[in-house]
Structure 1
Amino acid sequence: MPDGSAPLKPRTLRDAAGLVEAGLVPPEAAPGLERLSATYAIAITPVVRALIDPADPADPIARQYVPDIAELETLPEERSDPTSDAPFTPVKGVVHRYPDRALLKPLLACPVYCRFCFRREVVGPDGGLLSEAELEAALDWFAATPTVREAILTGGDPLMLSPRRLRHILARLSASPHLDIIRLHSRVPVSAPGRVTAALAEALDSEKALFLCVHTNHAREFAAPALDALRRLRRAGVALLGQSVLLRGVNDSAEALEALFRAMLAAQVKPYYLHQLDRAPGTARFEVPIAEGRRILRALRGRLTGLAWPAYVLDLPGGAGKAPLGPDFATAEGADWLVEGPLDHEPHRHPARAHPSAPPRAAG
């Protein structure tokens, strides 16, 4: 620089003025987005900003993160708590819907704020960090609930915690003999990969089976910084899963999903869940009808390895759990089954047969 000072470090964009300055929204959009930011948090990290093509009005990365005034339009079927966390919260920071697993939400801050997030009304840069007393009460609940076999750290993003705090949480959970599995859900490896330091990776060391579920929705999110972060995690022995949301304008085609799942596998991330959109307020522009989602996945069967096949699920309102949505390749016809071949797309009859009788007992 002319005055000899160091260049400014890239910063996370958090308001309408920053979005305008970065060329991500036109100046005339600023007043509406200022109103929007009073309700829903904005954050676009430098790594994510570098992935966005501002010249493409349909850029799939921008669509996930750049706010739109349409988010202030709430439809009757949209709910502020679409997955029903609140009714299943025995203590602050814990959600217990399934008998054998429970969520732990140690904080509600994220590195980025997805415009389709189902917790979008409660997450934010200043929101939801459990106090020491609240965290210990939540961890005590896990220790005192032997039916729970799996602890799932979510939020917010648990990798926004310091390595020290994360290490403490995992140590407390690992001390419970009834807990077999610890799972963490995070956007950090692809949206803020610089946070995946050696200290953070070391903090994830656990005597329990530990899985990190990485949230990504488009193949371009697997850029060099993300691949480096994922490599550090793998070298630390962390098993990696992938979860995605089926989103209009982001990954709503067989080609886009194929590229996403192939990118996951190339980074040794096993596709785990493909979520149907949760109907949070202001998210209608992202919804892909279930019938269309089933058609897209059906088109991928046979042209994509089974390793890349996630469970396509809908988290039902009211806390009823995740329901698999298919697609189906078999239908009953009388006592037989008609099974569609994913390579020839023709129905093949699979005749029923009587259950074989038990083998005769040996003489003597």
Structure 2
Amino acid sequence: MSPRSPTSSPPDRPSGSVKTAAELRERGLIEPGELIAVERVVARFAATITEELVELINPDDPDDPIAAQFVPRAEELTLAPEELADPIGDEPHTPVPGITHRYPDRVLLKPLHVCPVYCRFCFRREVVGPGTGVLAEAELEAALAYIREHSEIWEVILTGGDPLVLSPRRLGALIAALDAIEHVRVIRIHTRVPVVDPRRINDELLAALAVASAVYVVLHCNHPRELSARAAEACARIVNAGVPMLSQSVLLRGVNADADTLEALFRRLVELRVKPYYLHHGDLARGTGHFRTTIETGQALTRALRGRVSGLCQPTYVLDIPGGHGKVPIGANYIEQDGQIADINGELHEYPPHAEEP
């Protein structure tokens, strides 16, 4: 199928979104004294908050976890020397526009750099935003040609930007183009749409997802309060349509960096038939230092959750090594230096050594 359909016009925009510092002030999401600093932040890093999320924010709570994720703050103007414009190294692994080929058997395909919301901790915050649009027709065709030419590619991950911002017609045409490539067996879609703009999960979009048989939707969600009744309904529609769902979350100071919040988040996701997949350590994106925890904090949290919640509720805690060296699991280690094994309560136990392999 020709890629013309997905790129023939700009992606749909969420209606009623709050985008400017003035609008944030009018809605009570920032204080008058923050206006000038937030204007500077928005001039550098894109900001959009859907009405769905505005409804979830308690403006009287200075520690509101939804506001922390989406409302621009002056802290974003503080740049640490270790922070990077391309913290996970997309650029060195971009053979053609729109493709990132970091692992042999899978590629990222970024058909657009537009999102319905812009997370304040986004690792692609330097390249996403209104006006960045979609890949040009020729660029998308070149990206698809690259996938066709590399038979080792088993999985294509649609990301960006948020692929579900594309209209169902464009999304369906793109999925069909990928499904027509014989060696592409799995299509994965990374999105925030079911949480931040659940009205998009309609019959037309579900039909687009059904174009290929092995489509997975990976939901980005960081706090249980994001899982509103409308978000839950949107997830149910996707799963009931036969599309499996996973989730990925980012460990964020001031949002979810405590065991109680993570437990509530992962339990609720599993109740909604969404399997927690990744818990990301915060990337070294510019202006995001106020969100990052230490790795030791994350390891302690994963250890605390191990005996507390079902294995279904256990994502893999991962670090994306700066420079494009890929994700590695960095969860708690239960093997002590003397070879003893720590149980879920921290008690140590002997385990017999194995004979050497022949």
Query: Which TM bucket (shorter chain)?
Result: over 0.9
Where does residue 172 of structure 1 map in the other structure?
177
Gaps of 5+ in 1: 1-8, 358-364
Where does residue 210 of structure 1 map in the other structure?
215
Residue deviations 1:117-139 (CA, integer Å, cap 9, x gap): 00001111211411122112111
Query: Within 2, Cα distance between the matches of 1:283 and 1:196?
Result: 31
Query: Within 2, Cα distance between the matches of 1:302 and 1:82?
Result: 33
Seq. identity, %: 50
Where does residue 294 of structure 1 map in the other structure?
299
Aligned pairs for 1:20-99 (under 5 A) are: 20-99=25-104
Deviation, structure 1 residue 318: 1.3
Residue deviations 1:132-166 (CA, integer Å, cap 9, x gap): 22112111111111011110000000000011111
Of 33-42 and 103-112, more deviation after overlay is shown by: 33-42
Gap change, CA 1:37 and 1:355, over 3 Å in 2: closer
Read off the aligned partner of 1:351 and give its amino acid letter: P
Q: Contact between 2:298 and 2:331, CA under 8 Å: does it hold in 1?
A: no
- Selected match of 1:310 from 304, 310, 315: 315
Paired residue secondary structure (2:350): strand
Of 267-276 and 135-144, more deviation after overlay is shown by: 135-144
Paired residue secondary structure (1:123): coil
Where does residue 3 of structure 1 map in the other structure?
none
- Selected match of 2:343 from 341, 346, 349: 341
* Residue 277 (structure 2) pairs with residue 276 (structure 1): no
Deviation, structure 1 residue 355: 7.3
Q: Which has the higher contact order (CA 8 A, sep 6+)?
A: 2
Paired residue secondary structure (2:282): coil
Deviation, structure 1 residue 90: 0.8
Residue deviations 1:324-343 (CA, integer Å, cap 9, x gap): 1011112353xxx411111x
Read off the aligned partner of 1:114 and give its amino acid letter: C
Where does residue 6 of structure 2 map in the other structure?
none
* Residue 119 (structure 2) pairs with residue 118 (structure 1): no
Read off the aligned partner of 1:246 and give its amino acid letter: L
Query: Within 2, Cα distance between the matches of 1:45 and 1:61?
Result: 12
Paired residue secondary structure (2:176): helix
Deviation, structure 1 residue 32: 1.7
Read off the aligned partner of 1:35 and give its amino acid letter: R
Residue deviations 1:152-204 (CA, integer Å, cap 9, x gap): 00000000001111111111111111112110100000001111111001100
Where does residue 161 of structure 1 map in the other structure?
166
Query: Within 1, Cα distance between the matches of 2:95 and 2:145?
Result: 12
Where does residue 220 of structure 1 map in the other structure?
225
Read off the aligned partner of 1:96 and give its amino acid letter: H
Paired residue secondary structure (1:107): coil
RMSD of the TM alignment (CA)? Answer: 1.5
Who wins on radius of gyration, i.e. which is larger? 1
Query: Within 2, Cα distance between the matches of 1:353 and 1:318?
Result: 37
Where does residue 350 of structure 1 map in the other structure?
351
Q: Contact between 2:284 and 2:322, CA under 8 Å: does it hold in 1?
A: no
